[in-house]
Amino acid sequence: MARFAAVRDEGAFTELVTRHGAMVLGVCKRIVRQRQDAEDAFQAVFLALGAQARPLRRIRSLSGWLHNVAVRVSCDIVRANRRQSRKLESLAEHRQRSGGQGKADLQGVLDEELAALSPQYREAVVLCDLEGRTREEAARQLAVSAGTVASRLSRGRAALRERLLKRGVSLAAGGVAAALGRCLEASPSVPLGLTKQTVRAAQRFLAARGGGEVIAADKITTIAQGVLHTMFLSKISTTVGIAALAAALVLGSGPVLSWFGPQPEARAGTIFIDNFDDGSLTDNKPVSWRSDQGGSIRIQDQSLILTGNSVPLAVPNTPNRPNVSIQARVRLLEGTSIGLAGRRGVPVNGRESYFAYLVRDGATNYAGIAYGGSVQGIDEVEVPFDVRFEDVNLQLDIFGNQIKYWAWPANQPRPAAPLGEAIDNTLTNGSIFAFAGSDALSGATRASGAFRYIYVSDTPIVDVPEPSTAVLGSLGAASLFCFAFRARLARVRSGD
């Protein structure tokens, strides 16, 4: 790698493709499964490797980095293919159509969760379980003892098993090693023609980048540039976060918090903002909540936790609202979907409300709007975050016959443009509610969701109601700074 970074040695790059190609192509085929798309992903991974040659030239092992990038690229291709083929249909039809893909999707779940492990565990697992190195060989590669490799391998497999359980994949104690072993046995050999094609594509790609030329926008270079752009943004966001936390140590919390947007005390049109910090759901401060459709509600960790079978609801004691804007910070705990709804009232042609939702379908996440009751889809798009492992902000606006929805990662500004919108005159009035949902087609029978806050207004909400009393103390800032710095250092060492 150092030789290629220094003089663009073609032989060195060919050796890199030969040495790691089987592992990378195996990852791409397990996730993408279509041969041509998998080979496109394979080439894009090595184009990204060539572009990152200098920062990677001193790391001990490329295996973990290549696996991570292969997963990113392959998932991007899968998402792009799904976006291209999606059509407007009822949610039930979509779930049924997707149900047959579940087992196939599981082939890539292992790689997706392996890519999410910390670098030191990922490197050990990839080297030993996906590339077939002995512990002694991996130890020499990583410049650690064989005992350290054994420890990292054991802990990595255990962490991977826990992550798979959260995805609904249950494996016995030795099942992770066996599953990875099957991946190794099935790893495809890389055709010589594909290796040569990849090396030539990398030469053209790097020559254009180095000479400031416009790079031809074919599929492979577009994918490679996309993943490189994502890496760049990730590093920038980490750097900015560290700078902000460091500034908090010097300037105090007030100036720094103000950088992230206003903390308004009052908002025009607000009906209520409930952040569940008083420990009560029934004291009318600011509203009282009740469960519906066989659900139960409680407060835990300053969040409303909604649990039940099928589709449990949490309903506030507010009057019907013909025009309403509803925003919440949510996380799906069990089941397949979570969301907010408005205009719940007398059904019209089986349609009893409008609802905005986040849904997890296999390894993919979607956001959309639909009719309650008939569960007929109005609009749906794929989203890049995981509603089971991330806090997500969700907003539904219903004004007149216009319906809009947003979904975006917590603690980020709300995008100005909605994810989607529709014009509909079916329902004119009704109440609001929050819900979690399960889907028998996916094997889920129980649903549970967490709501960190719920914000309701009769004028469009344009901000995120972070608590105005939030204080970032010096000790907390120092702890966060150290954590961010350590995370950044680990990523640099892994070449991510």
pLDDT in tens, 30-67: 888 788 999 999 999 999 898 888 777 767 778 888 99
Residue 488 — very low, low, confident or very high, per pLDDT cuts 50/70/90?
Answer: very low
Distance CA 415, CA 333 (A): 25
Q: Which residue has the higher pLDDT, 281 or 360?
A: 281
275 and 216 within one domain:
no
464 within a domain of the structure (yes/no): no
Highest mean pLDDT among 71-85, 182-196, 214-228, 260-274: 182-196
Please state the rounded mean pLDDT for residues 335-363: 88
204-228 residue pLDDT tens? 888 877 655 545 557 888 888 877 7
Please state the rounded mean pLDDT for residues 69-87: 76
Residue 326 — very low, low, confident or very high, per pLDDT cuts 50/70/90?
Answer: very high
338 and 192 within one domain:
no
Domain housing 280:
270-457
147 and 34 within one domain:
yes
105 and 51 within one domain:
yes
Q: Which residue has the higher pLDDT, 256 or 445?
A: 445
Structural domains in the chain (count): 2
Q: Is the pLDDT of residue 443 over 90?
A: no
Average pLDDT for the chain: 79
322 and 220 within one domain:
no
Residue 454 — very low, low, confident or very high, per pLDDT cuts 50/70/90?
Answer: very high
Bridge-based pairing state of the strands 431-437 and 313-316: antiparallel
**pTM, two decimal places:** 0.51
pLDDT of residue 177: 84
CATH code of the domain in which 442 resides:
2.60.120.560
50 and 135 within one domain:
yes
151-188 residue pLDDT tens? 999 998 888 888 888 777 777 767 888 888 888 887 78
Residue 486 — very low, low, confident or very high, per pLDDT cuts 50/70/90?
Answer: very low
163 and 14 within one domain:
yes
